Structure 1
């Protein structure tokens, strides 16, 4: 996709920071977003218009000496510094900061959180260097990372040396439903059924939207095939992060993708304890979400888990769960499984799509689901607007004709009693694929609401 969607605000702000370091002196920006969300593309677009010099350094899983040699070559080529021979990464960053006292530069350090694997003491070195140079440097330092919680910890945890050293913090989110629809319409591919397929296989991640856009009128047929990047994408994205324990994490994610969404059910299914794995998947890797009924308190133990990334949910449900077929390249078998199960699987993803549409509308301050203490009276969507005192309760079906408002009202009695929102206007709705366009229009975000 040549067109650049929904990144205008970040583009403008990042360019402005880089273009004004002669006046403002040193500025540190943190740019965070999950892998494939388009962080590098965003920064490349920034560089197209920035007037000062820029340099991009990627923290790969190499030894410090190997990274020093790689970065030294980049610096020599970029700044024509033939006699620059650093011995450590600290030397590299000190040289660049010193250089920026004379010449404005933008330095991007990508996968910044992986410095910990290379040399953990470098964070303290960077803190000392930045504190010494910031007020005389003309550097825009951009620390880019793919693990939101770890990057937040590095700059916001009181025990971390880089605490509050950031001047700007940018979180790059996946594209929202309205932009997915815009991409499909721009390429003549929009209809509600295909929109759901695109949502299930991308969740708004630009790289996956590009794959879908290039896959013709039958994306599942083309993407579930030998040589398709989709087949090994889950491995490529996660194995390096998970390291030697990747199989245990993969098994937990596979269980969640197949409907085992509480800790007891996962442990029963896998016949092993998973408490540590669940905590790390949520807090370190940002891959799962912990869900509670919308009426529950934060310390409630009534917890369910979901995979936070729609693509990974699909990949673990249909690719990882059928890895034996993948090994013998029996993609026809996997396609038959998808043909059989996709309608059921996509039903839960349709709920997430409608929640994303409501979130994009900016009309509600709390959006979730509900189930009672017995796991019954489940309600797909509950959206609360405390400002205008409104509650929207919705049932999600593939076909609207299967929706019954009377049944939804009956199921909602315990919810409304638990919410105890006296004086609130309550509306009951049926959301379905065949009224998706109406819902998108009704809850479209407009500037008048800002």
Structure 2
């Protein structure tokens, strides 16, 4: 399978930056820096490896790990530099620099001055965690040495919040680097990669989150059941291993954040229910854990969307794959490891329709945000949902001019994601009732039905899986 379906845009951006390095810069400073971020297992490193291979220029690719000391990081860096294709790689032979200042000065001396090169620092947040001064040292060497050479410096990280903050005002790298976000493969990319129809492409996206490593294990045109039957019964499959490794890299297993994440993953969405599921955690501890999870972009914090303010906050797992893993795989790893993945598969099969109906909601909302103009009854600047404390009413889709407190509501909608259940008269009646109870909506507010199986009634704007998939196309 082609692991670069949907990565054309990213490769073009990288090639464009290397082209600017090749052409040179103002005042004799051709060097460029790029801060690349994206979720773990999304394929950032593989993307850059492919770019470097295609560029065919001298390069150093250094991947940091969670080393206990700066000395250990430096030893690994020197080893990688000595084995690189930089023309001055031999300068590192037998060297043992005692600081990053010395190591990066050696790197500058090893770079070519007459042709472009690429230096990659993968998992840079690990280097900063071990040596908080690394960021400032890199900035100093970049300003004094690297920017004067035709080199593209690519710094990669999976800690989204940290990588985003590196370019903030007051930080050493402020306005020195271009930022690039590598997203998971989209539902459109997933359908194209696996040769699946639209509805099945969304199913595959809900399970894999668009992570290339997991999709590589899915056979071309294969059904969801066939894939799960193979992956869930194999303790070494990427579907099982990726979630465990991603969480282990972020949190110790018994940390409060990990406990809270498991509670949300099990289906709890409110502050009080999460506190109970996390073992009666104190309010202060829960607030800290939720803030950490939100800062790391692992949990979304959402409010009802209407013309009236609300405090009915909900907490949702942001990543589709992690939602699936926490719901069906993480709690049952011991069962799978002792050879009873069949029990896990049966559990997924029996709960799939109900779980999918809830899990598809944020994906549908994001799809509607991306839709071309003209497919919705009226354009909306923001799209969310609406609920009350008792969930009566609970509305899947609300379009509005702003959030969280809107001035005007542009449409309300319902999601019905069943294989053999079209949007019907009963669904329409329920949507009309809920519209009448939504602050800011009235009988003129447009109605939208997002249905996997079409509709059996008029009076709504219908959107199908095929319509949604077009929102993710290039």
Residue 263 (structure 2) aligns with: 255
What is the CA–CA distance in structure 1 between the aligned matches of 2:313 and 2:269, rounded to whole Å? Answer: 9
RMSD: 3.0
Runs of 4+ in 1 over 6 A off after TM superposition: none
Higher helix share: 1
Gaps of 5+ in 2: 374-379, 403-407, 456-461
What is the CA–CA distance in structure 1 between the aligned matches of 2:277 and 2:345, rounded to whole Å? Answer: 25
Whether 1:408 and 2:424 are equivalent positions in the alignment is: no
Q: Alpha-carbon deviations, 1:156-179, whole Å to 9, x = none?
A: 153x3222321x111111222222
What is the CA–CA distance in structure 1 between the aligned matches of 2:234 and 2:56, rounded to whole Å? Answer: 44
Contact preservation (8 Å) 1:53, 1:106? yes
Whether 1:434 and 2:434 are equivalent positions in the alignment is: no
**How far 1:445 moved relative to its partner?**
4.7
Residue 381 (structure 1) aligns with: 397
1:233–1:203 distance in 2 versus 1, CA, 3 Å? closer
Gaps of 5+ in 1: none
Residue 106 (structure 1) aligns with: 118
Residue 5 (structure 1) aligns with: 5
Name the SS for the 1:204 alignment partner.
Answer: coil
Whether 1:149 and 2:138 are equivalent positions in the alignment is: no
Whether 1:82 and 2:90 are equivalent positions in the alignment is: yes
**How far 1:249 moved relative to its partner?**
2.9
Give the alignment partner of residue 348 of structure 2, picking from 321, 338, 363. 338
Whether 1:170 and 2:183 are equivalent positions in the alignment is: no
Name the SS for the 1:142 alignment partner.
Answer: strand
What is the CA–CA distance in structure 1 between the aligned matches of 2:96 and 2:19, rounded to whole Å? Answer: 28
What is the CA–CA distance in structure 1 between the aligned matches of 2:333 and 2:471, rounded to whole Å? Answer: 45
Residue 129 (structure 1) aligns with: 141
Residue 116 (structure 1) aligns with: 128
Q: Alpha-carbon deviations, 1:196-240, whole Å to 9, x = none?
A: 431221122222222233795411111111334233332211112
Pick which of 121-130 and 221-230 moved more: 221-230
1:51–1:212 distance in 2 versus 1, CA, 3 Å? closer
What is the CA–CA distance in structure 1 between the aligned matches of 2:401 and 2:209, rounded to whole Å? Answer: 25
What is the CA–CA distance in structure 2 between the aligned matches of 1:156 and 1:93, rounded to whole Å? Answer: 23
Name the SS for the 2:251 alignment partner.
Answer: helix
- TM-score norm. by structure 2 comes to 0.83
- TM-score norm. by structure 1 comes to 0.87
What is the CA–CA distance in structure 2 between the aligned matches of 1:102 and 1:425, rounded to whole Å? Answer: 67
Contact preservation (8 Å) 1:355, 1:381? yes
Q: Alpha-carbon deviations, 1:293-351, whole Å to 9, x = none?
A: 12378x95321011111111111111223345245332222122212211111111222
